[in-house]
Amino acid sequence: MFAYFKSALTAAALTASLMAPAAAQDLKFFTIGTGGTAATYYPVGGVIANAISNPPGSRPCAEGGSCGVPGLIASAVSSRGSVDNLNAISSGLRNSGFAQSDVAYWAYTGTGTMQGQAPAEKLRAIAALFPEHIHLVALADSGINSVADLKGKRVSLDEPGSGTYVDANLILEAAGLGVADVTAEALKPDAASDALRNGQIDAFFFVGGYPTGAIVELASAAKIKLVPIDGDTAASLTGKHAFFASSDVPEGVYEGVPATTTVAVGAQWITSSDESEELVYEITKALWNDNTRKLLDTGHAKGKSITKETALDGIGIPLHPGAEKFYREAGLLK
């Protein structure tokens, strides 16, 4: 009897050892470059990574478990933002990432702010996600009431490599200013919020979906304002760059801050043409299933803006073939 059990245990161990490599081969990893941890990209990236993941051993979707891609483990990676993400995708450092629509187009074509750089021709879109509003934040009693009032002030433009840095420069230009007209700092939103509150800077730019955590916390601790980006400045910006559109941040998004007119661009999920068509198809399918809808609606305030019906809005670069296959099947592409 003992010999029988010993033989059975040996067979089970051998079977497990033979199956382990197969299981390891089935496991897939997929990174999503996001932004700073206090901004919008990072928490939204976490929600999406969770939605498309389905590690081995997960409870089946039909039984209330993961409805992601079988064997996939996706992770949201903090980064410096749009430009950093696109560079990392092009170099193969990351599988995918979030980027502003304007920055993605300029990188793909080697135009605009990317003039003189080799076109990043492998960039491909998975989906348009949500509108990102340009926040220009100052203290309520700062006397800064327009972009022109930034002249001679200490202003954070965010880090080079971020979409905010790119857009802040364009907004200054639209107002007839340049980086030389301000004392420029390079702070992420959380550090910029602290610096503004402590009097170390006079204002800061941030591009992201509202509400963003760093500004929510700042508004609860200090009286702030969103400086309007409107009038001739907005007209110059939107006239020259079609990716920008005039849009309001509603009253009540940030404590004590009234509705403010500004400009917005679209946030998009970008990958590389090197990624497998089948994998990106399955990822896109998982992004838009009903289970993910529930996660998006409850996972972040901006999640409700991420919809299948707007998934193709404002995309200026080619779709990845896997994403295109899904949208054709879903009737969103003819």
How far is the C-alpha of 140 from the C-alpha of 113, rounded, in Å? 32
pLDDT digits (tens, 9 = 90+) for 269-323: 999 999 999 999 999 999 999 889 999 999 888 888 999 999 998 888 999 999 9
Top-confidence residue, 240 or 6:
240
pTM score: 0.78
Q: What share of the chain is helix, strand, coil (3-state, %, to 5)?
A: 45, 20, 35
Amino acid at 14: L
- Phi/psi-derived region of residue 110, left when phi > 0, alpha when psi is between -120 and 50, beta in every other case: left
How far is the C-alpha of 225 from the C-alpha of 257, rounded, in Å? 6
Which residues are 287's β-sheet partners? none
How many residues does the structure list for the chain?
A: 334
Cα–Cα distances in Å, from 234 out to 44, 132, 174, 280?
A: 28, 15, 7, 37
Q: Mean pLDDT over all residues of the chain?
A: 90
Amino acid at 55: P
How far is the C-alpha of 316 from the C-alpha of 309, rounded, in Å? 17
pLDDT digits (tens, 9 = 90+) for 132-179: 899 999 999 999 999 999 999 999 999 988 889 999 999 999 999 999
Please say if the pLDDT value at position 4 is more than 50.
Answer: no
How far is the C-alpha of 151 from the C-alpha of 182, rounded, in Å? 5
In the numeric block, which tokens belong to residue 116? 């003189």
Amino acid at 151: K
Q: Could you give the 3-state DSSP secondary structure of residue 8?
A: helix
Top-confidence residue, 26 or 238:
238
